[in-house]
A and B are shown apart, each in its own frame.
Chain A
Amino acid sequence: MAESVNLHVITGEPQAARPYRFRAMERFLFGGAGMLALLGLLLQAPWQISLATLAVALIAFLQLKRSRLLAAIATGAMALVAANSLIDLVDQPEAINAGFWCLVAAAWLLAWGCVDQLSAIKTLSRSYRTVLNVLIPVLFGLWLLILWELLTRGLNVPQVLLPAPSQIGQRFMESRAILWMDFKQTFLRAVLIGYAIGCGAGFIVAILIDRSPFLQRGLLPIGNLVSALPIVGVAPIMVMWFGFDWPSKAAVVIIMTFFPMLVNTVSGLSAAQPMQHDLMKTYAASYWQSLFKLRIPEALPFIFNALKINSTLAMIGAIVAEFFGTPTLGMGFRISTEVGRMNVDMVWAEIAVAALAGSLFYGLVALLERIFTFWHPSVRS
């Protein structure tokens, strides 16, 4: 009976309420920052920064109820000023004392307090919220870099173990030409070409087997299984078959991206509700009309899911495949040879390129997803 047809076709999932916030946190953060700044002052940290930090922390601690935004701006700015002076000091061995580390911790707590205040701001304005949602993780990332810089340089961590971000940045600027060549070889050739062919083939095969339930029932479990397997392992075989240059890497990428696309498209094509199919039937729509007007749009969220998964898989596939042999070019090649020479800063520069390329690639696919599936509940909310 069609009496109990699902009426939640277009409604989204109910929003779970957030648990009650633990507001003692802010007192702890600003109080702690003030305490550490005072301690730093006593332990011979530079008195100007210590006093300023102490003052801002105290004001933030006492004036908490006034304005979260003001508190966030003041503490965030002070934390950055303190960080800047501390980074200036970090190369003078006589400046690195207990007071110095107290001040590092104070600035860090202040920055944490800033992020904490920003995330507690309740606003209904959409654009304001968007700014906050970008600003908060950016501040968090920035502080990760600042702490990394201060710790590696302040504690004289061997460069082989972990270079400071500034060293990596310097190496990045010096080796732009090499990095660009590697990027071209690995990303623009192996990744992009393999990704396009692999995803395209997965989609086309899904459409081809769409009319054969038998093939679907046969291929779907196998596709699901293969998606979970360590397919990167075919890399040595592909290198033997297609040589050292980028086609072998593209082949690995094709194999890795094919199955997630196939499985997702097949399940996406069956995502439409029975009522939607009935509607098409009442219009006496042909197979292709239902496919293009109903089933492919309904499958788009699934297809984009596969495109997103595949964007990371493609990077992994291309880079790992290069460990099995390349011409003297490519990001994976560079990483494995520079690791061997203990040029760890070059490895990190290469990783930075990979990270940047990977995030931008993913971000681009996610952006396209927002454009094409703007109607889907998960995008709308």
Chain B
Amino acid sequence: MVSRHVNAAIPVIVVTLAIVVLWYVGAALLNLSWEKSVAERNGTAPSTIEMLRNTMHQERPVLPAPHQVVSEIIDTTIHKKITSKRSLIYHAGITLSSSMLGFLMGTLLGIVLAVIIVYNDALNKSLLPWIIASQTIPILAIAPMIIVVLNAVGIQGLLPKAFISMYLSFFPVAVGMVKGLNSPSSSHLDLMRTYSASSWQTFLKLRLPTSLPFLFTSMKVAVAISVVGAIVAELPTGAVAGLGARLLAGSYYGQTVQIWSALVVASVLAALLVVIVGWLGDFVNRRMGLAHG
């Protein structure tokens, strides 16, 4: 068992190391021209080795080296108070809370829509095509407008950002749940009919349990996309708070190290959330005896 995990991990570790090495090489190559221009301006002629060494700790590198990003992250998480505006944990917390709120609202909305769609033929035929079409619209494009418009009516803070996350996350849940609620085989449904079960009983005892694996698979997609929604929603708020704001501020002032560290923290956040939802799904599926399904 353990050795199988190790065997699975080795290729991932090797590829990750290769990416880190490539990152260093890329950083050296991309940052070299700046070192050359500095040397030219100062009229000095440093050796190539010296220039390469300098590419590893520039103030505003084209591509910061991995250790620069790591030290920036450590600096802005462990060494800053959480309440400080310069703490990445503070910013990540803001993004996390709005994306979580949006994710929960989106999941609820998705489940409710799915149940309605499964139980109402007219809505199935008229609403479902629009739900699907709504996702071909680059909804993130509307994000700034929703934020600004809601701001104009006095709705501020967490809620507008959560709306964006909700809009993005309801879709995978709704589609997955419709699939899940329709997934019992016709023989299972016929069995319920032989018991003359009411449609509510069929829902509770058959459709809902069989839909759970579908629900958690969709929730993994939904939670990842809700983080994206929260980050993009933070862009038009004038770079006040949140990981999106850090990205925007970094791009205004050319602080590449800040951009990269915000990006890494956002990625870690999204990955953690996906993993947690995945565990939750595994746990529930196992409790329901559906682990193999």
Contact = CB atoms under 8 A, between A and B. Distances in A.
Question: Are A and B bound to each other?
Answer: yes
A229 B266 contact: yes
Contact of A233 (B121, B133, B266): B266
B136 interface: yes
A186 B284 CA distance: 44
A234 B19 CA distance: 17
A137 interface: yes
Interface string A154-172: 0000001110000000000
A16 B184 contact: yes
B135 A312 contact: yes
A336 interface: yes
A219 B144 CA distance: 35
B231 A230 contact: yes
Nearest to A144: B130
Interface in B211-227: 220-221, 224, 227
Contacts of A133: 125
B270 A228 contact: yes
Contacts of A324: 248, 251
Interface string B7-41: 01001111110010000000000000000000000
Most buried by B among A132, A217, A230, A234: A230
B136 A137 contact: no
A358 B266 contact: no
Interface residues of B, number: 70
Interface residues of A, number: 75
Interface string B133-151: 1011111111011001100
A236 B228 contact: no
A217 B135 CA distance: 32
Interface stretch (B48-56, B71-79, B101-109, B253-261): B253-261
B152 interface: yes
Interface string A1-34: 0000000000000111111111001000000000
Contacts of A93: none
A311 B135 CA distance: 10
Given A119-B121, A239-B251, A230 B227 contact: yes
B138 A21 contact: no
Contacts of A116: 122
B250 A236 contact: yes
A144 B133 CA distance: 14
A55 interface: no
Most buried by B among A16, A160, A214, A312: A16
A197 interface: no
B135 A222 contact: no
Contact of A241 (B62, B122, B133, B141): B62
A363 B220 CA distance: 26
A323 B237 CA distance: 12
B152 A160 contact: yes
A136 B235 contact: no
A342 B149 CA distance: 9
Contact of A240 (B62, B182, B185, B221): B62
A233 B185 contact: no
Nearest to B259: A236
Contacts of B202: 19
A363 B127 CA distance: 18
B118 interface: yes
Interface of A: 14-22, 25, 112, 115-116, 118-120, 132-133, 136-137, 139-141, 144, 160-162, 214-219, 221-222, 225, 228-230, 232-237, 239-241, 311-312, 315-316, 319-320, 323-325, 331-332, 335-336, 339-340, 342, 344, 347, 350-351, 354-355, 358-359, 361-363
Shortest Cβ-Cβ A-B pairs, 6 listed:
A218-B15, A236-B251, A218-B11, A140-B126, A137-B129, A315-B138
7 contacts: A16-B183, A21-B121, A215-B11, A230-B227, A240-B254, A320-B140, A355-B138
Given A233-B244, A351-B141, 16 more contacts: A14-B186, A16-B184, A16-B185, A119-B126, A133-B125, A136-B122, A136-B125, A136-B126, A222-B12, A233-B259, A236-B247, A236-B251, A237-B259, A320-B235, A339-B236, A354-B137
